[in-house]
Protein backbone atom coordinates (compact mmCIF):
# COMPACT_ATOMS: atom_id res chain seq x y z
CA UNK A 1 0.00 0.00 0.00
CA UNK A 2 2.92 2.35 0.63
CA UNK A 3 3.65 2.75 -3.09
CA UNK A 4 0.09 3.94 -3.72
CA UNK A 5 0.47 6.76 -1.17
CA UNK A 6 3.68 7.98 -2.79
CA UNK A 7 2.20 7.93 -6.30
CA UNK A 8 -0.97 9.72 -5.21
CA UNK A 9 1.05 12.27 -3.23
CA UNK A 10 3.29 12.86 -6.23
CA UNK A 11 0.28 13.33 -8.51
CA UNK A 12 -1.40 15.84 -6.20
CA UNK A 13 1.78 17.85 -5.77
CA UNK A 14 2.42 17.60 -9.51
CA UNK A 15 -0.90 19.32 -10.21
CA UNK A 16 0.14 22.15 -7.88
CA UNK A 17 3.48 22.35 -9.66
CA UNK A 18 2.04 22.54 -13.14
CA UNK A 19 -0.52 25.14 -12.10
CA UNK A 20 1.76 27.48 -10.13
CA UNK A 21 5.16 26.66 -11.64
CA UNK A 22 6.61 25.98 -8.18
CA UNK A 23 8.02 22.46 -8.59
CA UNK A 24 6.18 20.79 -5.71
CA UNK A 25 8.99 20.52 -3.18
CA UNK A 26 7.62 23.54 -1.37
CA UNK A 27 4.87 21.26 -0.04
CA UNK A 28 6.76 17.96 0.10
CA UNK A 29 9.86 19.06 2.05
CA UNK A 30 8.00 20.42 5.11
CA UNK A 31 5.64 17.43 4.98
CA UNK A 32 8.56 14.97 5.06
CA UNK A 33 10.25 16.92 7.87
CA UNK A 34 7.04 16.73 9.91
CA UNK A 35 6.91 12.98 9.21
CA UNK A 36 10.40 12.61 10.71
CA UNK A 37 12.72 12.42 7.68
CA UNK A 38 16.29 13.70 8.05
CA UNK A 39 16.71 17.11 6.38
CA UNK A 40 19.08 15.95 3.62
CA UNK A 41 16.89 12.93 2.82
CA UNK A 42 13.76 15.10 2.75
CA UNK A 43 15.50 17.57 0.44
CA UNK A 44 16.82 15.01 -2.05
CA UNK A 45 13.45 13.21 -2.21
CA UNK A 46 11.75 16.54 -2.80
CA UNK A 47 14.26 17.37 -5.51
CA UNK A 48 13.53 14.01 -7.19
CA UNK A 49 9.81 14.72 -7.16
CA UNK A 50 10.50 18.22 -8.39
CA UNK A 51 12.61 16.92 -11.26
CA UNK A 52 9.68 14.85 -12.50
CA UNK A 53 7.22 17.70 -12.22
CA UNK A 54 9.53 20.35 -13.70
CA UNK A 55 10.46 18.25 -16.74
CA UNK A 56 6.84 17.42 -17.55
CA UNK A 57 5.81 20.97 -16.73
CA UNK A 58 8.48 22.29 -19.08
CA UNK A 59 7.13 20.18 -21.93
CA UNK A 60 3.58 21.34 -21.23
CA UNK A 61 4.50 25.03 -21.04
CA UNK A 62 6.63 24.86 -24.20
CA UNK A 63 3.59 23.50 -26.03
CA UNK A 64 1.53 26.34 -24.56
CA UNK A 65 4.25 28.82 -25.69
CA UNK A 66 4.77 30.07 -22.15
CA UNK A 67 8.61 29.78 -22.14
CA UNK A 68 11.28 32.40 -22.87
CA UNK A 69 14.13 30.04 -23.83
CA UNK A 70 17.01 32.51 -23.52
CA UNK A 71 16.00 33.63 -20.04
CA UNK A 72 15.47 30.01 -18.96
CA UNK A 73 19.03 29.04 -19.97
CA UNK A 74 20.60 32.04 -18.17
CA UNK A 75 18.54 31.33 -15.04
CA UNK A 76 19.49 27.65 -15.16
CA UNK A 77 23.24 28.22 -15.47
CA UNK A 78 23.30 30.76 -12.62
CA UNK A 79 21.13 28.41 -10.54
CA UNK A 80 23.56 25.51 -10.99
CA UNK A 81 26.30 27.63 -9.39
CA UNK A 82 24.10 28.52 -6.41
CA UNK A 83 22.95 24.92 -5.97
CA UNK A 84 26.47 23.49 -6.11
CA UNK A 85 27.78 25.67 -3.27
CA UNK A 86 24.76 25.09 -1.02
CA UNK A 87 24.52 21.28 -0.76
CA UNK A 88 27.79 20.84 1.23
CA UNK A 89 26.66 23.63 3.57
CA UNK A 90 23.39 21.79 4.33
CA UNK A 91 25.30 18.55 5.03
CA UNK A 92 27.52 20.48 7.47
CA UNK A 93 24.44 21.94 9.18
CA UNK A 94 22.94 18.47 9.47
CA UNK A 95 26.11 17.17 11.14
CA UNK A 96 25.75 20.04 13.63
CA UNK A 97 22.04 19.22 14.22
CA UNK A 98 21.03 22.62 12.93
CA UNK A 99 19.70 21.84 9.45
CA UNK A 100 16.04 21.37 10.38
CA UNK A 101 15.88 24.69 12.24
CA UNK A 102 17.66 26.64 9.50
CA UNK A 103 15.48 25.13 6.76
CA UNK A 104 12.31 25.88 8.74
CA UNK A 105 13.33 29.49 9.33
CA UNK A 106 14.17 29.86 5.64
CA UNK A 107 10.70 28.59 4.70
CA UNK A 108 8.95 30.99 7.06
CA UNK A 109 11.00 34.04 6.06
CA UNK A 110 10.99 33.51 2.30
CA UNK A 111 7.36 32.45 1.97
CA UNK A 112 6.26 35.25 4.27
CA UNK A 113 8.13 37.82 2.20
CA UNK A 114 6.76 36.61 -1.12
CA UNK A 115 3.22 36.48 0.29
CA UNK A 116 3.58 40.11 1.31
CA UNK A 117 4.86 41.01 -2.16
CA UNK A 118 1.83 39.45 -3.83
CA UNK A 119 -0.66 41.19 -1.54
CA UNK A 120 1.12 44.54 -1.51
CA UNK A 121 -0.45 47.23 -3.68
CA UNK A 122 1.60 47.59 -6.85
CA UNK A 123 3.29 50.98 -7.26
CA UNK A 124 2.63 52.44 -10.67
CA UNK A 125 6.01 54.20 -10.74
CA UNK A 126 8.04 51.14 -9.73
CA UNK A 127 10.81 50.52 -12.25
CA UNK A 128 11.76 47.04 -13.52
CA UNK A 129 15.26 45.81 -12.62
CA UNK A 130 16.22 44.97 -16.20
CA UNK A 131 17.65 41.82 -17.81
CA UNK A 132 20.87 42.20 -15.78
CA UNK A 133 18.94 40.92 -12.75
CA UNK A 134 18.30 37.54 -14.42
CA UNK A 135 21.58 35.85 -13.32
CA UNK A 136 21.03 37.15 -9.77
CA UNK A 137 17.56 35.60 -9.73
CA UNK A 138 19.03 32.32 -11.00
CA UNK A 139 21.80 32.21 -8.37
CA UNK A 140 19.42 33.00 -5.51
CA UNK A 141 17.07 30.33 -6.80
CA UNK A 142 19.87 27.74 -6.88
CA UNK A 143 20.79 28.47 -3.25
CA UNK A 144 17.18 28.24 -2.10
CA UNK A 145 16.57 25.11 -4.17
CA UNK A 146 19.32 23.10 -2.47
CA UNK A 147 18.58 24.59 0.96
CA UNK A 148 14.86 23.84 0.92
CA UNK A 149 14.48 20.95 -1.54
CA UNK A 150 12.41 22.99 -3.98
CA UNK A 151 12.59 23.87 -7.65
CA UNK A 152 12.84 27.55 -6.79
CA UNK A 153 9.91 28.35 -9.05
CA UNK A 154 8.21 30.12 -6.17
CA UNK A 155 11.19 32.49 -6.15
CA UNK A 156 11.66 32.85 -9.89
CA UNK A 157 7.99 33.26 -10.80
CA UNK A 158 7.27 36.40 -8.72
CA UNK A 159 10.72 37.92 -9.38
CA UNK A 160 10.42 37.45 -13.15
CA UNK A 161 6.95 38.93 -12.92
CA UNK A 162 7.94 41.94 -10.78
CA UNK A 163 11.60 42.59 -11.63
CA UNK A 164 11.63 41.65 -15.31
CA UNK A 165 7.94 42.41 -15.91
CA UNK A 166 7.20 39.14 -17.68
CA UNK A 167 3.55 38.20 -18.03
CA UNK A 168 2.73 35.85 -15.12
CA UNK A 169 1.97 32.85 -17.33
CA UNK A 170 5.21 33.42 -19.27
CA UNK A 171 7.07 33.79 -15.95
CA UNK A 172 5.63 30.48 -14.73
CA UNK A 173 6.64 28.62 -17.89
CA UNK A 174 10.14 30.12 -17.95
CA UNK A 175 10.77 29.46 -14.27
CA UNK A 176 9.69 25.84 -14.38
CA UNK A 177 11.96 25.28 -17.41
CA UNK A 178 14.99 26.80 -15.65
CA UNK A 179 14.10 24.81 -12.54
CA UNK A 180 14.61 21.53 -14.42
CA UNK A 181 18.29 22.42 -14.85
CA UNK A 182 18.69 23.66 -11.27
CA UNK A 183 17.01 20.67 -9.64
CA UNK A 184 19.09 18.16 -11.60
CA UNK A 185 22.28 19.88 -10.43
CA UNK A 186 20.95 19.90 -6.85
CA UNK A 187 20.45 16.13 -6.85
CA UNK A 188 23.97 15.68 -8.23
CA UNK A 189 25.41 18.05 -5.61
CA UNK A 190 23.83 16.14 -2.71
CA UNK A 191 25.02 12.80 -4.07
CA UNK A 192 28.53 14.24 -4.47
CA UNK A 193 28.31 15.42 -0.84
CA UNK A 194 27.65 11.82 0.28
CA UNK A 195 23.84 11.69 0.51
CA UNK A 196 22.23 8.38 -0.45
CA UNK A 197 19.40 8.50 -2.94
CA UNK A 198 16.12 6.75 -2.05
CA UNK A 199 15.44 5.60 -5.61
CA UNK A 200 12.33 3.58 -4.80
CA UNK A 201 10.33 6.36 -3.15
CA UNK A 202 11.78 8.96 -5.49
CA UNK A 203 10.68 7.08 -8.60
CA UNK A 204 7.18 6.61 -7.17
CA UNK A 205 6.92 10.35 -6.50
CA UNK A 206 8.14 11.11 -10.03
CA UNK A 207 5.60 8.67 -11.50
CA UNK A 208 2.84 10.53 -9.68
CA UNK A 209 4.21 13.89 -10.81
CA UNK A 210 4.24 12.73 -14.43
CA UNK A 211 0.49 12.16 -14.10
CA UNK A 212 -0.36 15.33 -12.22
CA UNK A 213 1.79 18.10 -13.70
CA UNK A 214 0.24 18.21 -17.19
CA UNK A 215 -3.19 18.44 -15.56
CA UNK A 216 -2.12 21.48 -13.55
CA UNK A 217 -0.51 23.15 -16.57
CA UNK A 218 -3.66 22.85 -18.68
CA UNK A 219 -5.85 24.14 -15.83
CA UNK A 220 -3.84 27.38 -15.64
CA UNK A 221 -5.41 28.81 -18.79
CA UNK A 222 -8.85 28.76 -17.13
CA UNK A 223 -7.88 31.32 -14.48
CA UNK A 224 -7.21 35.04 -14.63
CA UNK A 225 -3.73 36.23 -13.63
CA UNK A 226 -4.95 38.08 -10.51
CA UNK A 227 -6.77 34.95 -9.32
CA UNK A 228 -3.61 32.84 -9.73
CA UNK A 229 -1.58 35.42 -7.78
CA UNK A 230 -4.01 35.37 -4.86
CA UNK A 231 -4.14 31.57 -4.80
CA UNK A 232 -0.34 31.36 -4.83
CA UNK A 233 -0.03 33.91 -2.02
CA UNK A 234 -2.48 31.96 0.15
CA UNK A 235 -0.55 28.74 -0.55
CA UNK A 236 2.67 30.41 0.64
CA UNK A 237 0.99 31.60 3.83
CA UNK A 238 -0.44 28.16 4.61
CA UNK A 239 2.86 26.35 4.08
CA UNK A 240 4.68 28.93 6.23
CA UNK A 241 2.08 28.46 8.97
CA UNK A 242 2.49 24.68 8.81
CA UNK A 243 6.25 25.07 9.31
CA UNK A 244 5.64 27.33 12.32
CA UNK A 245 3.37 24.65 13.81
CA UNK A 246 6.15 22.09 13.31
CA UNK A 247 8.60 24.34 15.17
CA UNK A 248 6.04 24.63 17.96
CA UNK A 249 6.02 20.81 18.19
CA UNK A 250 2.48 20.45 16.80
CA UNK A 251 3.18 18.18 13.79
CA UNK A 252 -0.33 16.73 13.56
CA UNK A 253 -1.93 20.15 13.18
CA UNK A 254 0.77 21.05 10.65
CA UNK A 255 -0.17 18.05 8.47
CA UNK A 256 -3.88 18.83 8.83
CA UNK A 257 -3.27 22.40 7.63
CA UNK A 258 -1.35 21.21 4.56
CA UNK A 259 -4.05 18.63 3.80
CA UNK A 260 -6.81 21.22 4.12
CA UNK A 261 -4.98 23.53 1.73
CA UNK A 262 -4.72 20.75 -0.84
CA UNK A 263 -8.43 19.95 -0.52
CA UNK A 264 -9.35 23.63 -0.93
CA UNK A 265 -7.15 23.99 -4.01
CA UNK A 266 -8.67 20.98 -5.75
CA UNK A 267 -12.16 22.16 -4.80
CA UNK A 268 -11.46 25.44 -6.65
CA UNK A 269 -10.26 23.54 -9.74
CA UNK A 270 -13.28 21.22 -9.73
CA UNK A 271 -15.69 24.12 -9.24
CA UNK A 272 -14.10 25.97 -12.16
CA UNK A 273 -14.43 22.90 -14.37
CA UNK A 274 -18.11 22.59 -13.48
CA UNK A 275 -18.72 26.24 -14.39
CA UNK A 276 -16.89 26.12 -17.73
CA UNK A 277 -19.32 23.79 -19.56
CA UNK A 278 -22.36 25.71 -18.32
CA UNK A 279 -20.75 29.02 -19.35
CA UNK A 280 -20.02 27.73 -22.88
CA UNK A 281 -23.54 26.30 -23.19
Residue partners of 180: CB distance under 8 A and separation at least 6: 51, 54, 55, 58, 76, 151
Selection from 141, 144, 38 nearest residue 93 by Cα: 38
Nearest to 145 by CA among 173, 118, 106, 117: 106
d(CA 233, CA 154): 10
Residue 117's closest CA among 157, 88, 77?
157
Burial label, 65 (beta-carbon count in 10 A; 0-12, 13-18, 19+): exposed
pLDDT of residue 281: 47
In this prediction, residue 59 carries a pLDDT of 87
Q: What is the pLDDT along the chain (281 residues), one digit of tens a residue?
A: 677 888 888 888 888 877 876 667 778 888 888 888 888 888 999 898 888 777 877 888 898 888 999 999 999 999 999 999 999 999 899 888 888 889 889 889 988 887 887 777 665 555 667 778 999 999 999 999 999 888 787 788 878 888 888 888 899 889 989 989 999 999 999 998 888 888 888 889 888 888 887 888 788 878 887 888 888 888 889 989 988 998 888 988 988 998 888 888 888 888 887 776 555 44
Helix or strand or coil: residue 263?
A: helix
pLDDT of res. 32? 86
Going by C-alpha positions, the residue among 61, 15, 37 that lies closest to residue 211 is 15
Tell me 197's DSSP state.
P
Q: What is the pTM of this model?
A: 0.76
| pLDDT reported for residue 230 | 84
pLDDT at residue 146, as a whole number: 92
The string over 94-124, giving b where at least 16 C-beta atoms fall within 10 Å of a residue's C-beta and e elsewhere, is: beeeebbebbbeebbebbeebbebbeeeeee
Rounded Cα distance between 82 and 75, Å, is: 11
Where exactly are the structural domains of the chain? 2-280
**Apex 16 CA angle, 12 and 22, nearest 5:** 135
Amino acid sequence: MEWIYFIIGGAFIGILSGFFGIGGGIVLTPTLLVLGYDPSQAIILSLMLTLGSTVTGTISHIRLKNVNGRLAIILGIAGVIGSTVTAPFVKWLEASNGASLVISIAYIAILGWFSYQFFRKEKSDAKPKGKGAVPVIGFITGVISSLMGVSGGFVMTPLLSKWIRLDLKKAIGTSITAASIIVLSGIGSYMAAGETLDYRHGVLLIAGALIGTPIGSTQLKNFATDKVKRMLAFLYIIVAASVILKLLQIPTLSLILIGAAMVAFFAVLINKQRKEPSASA
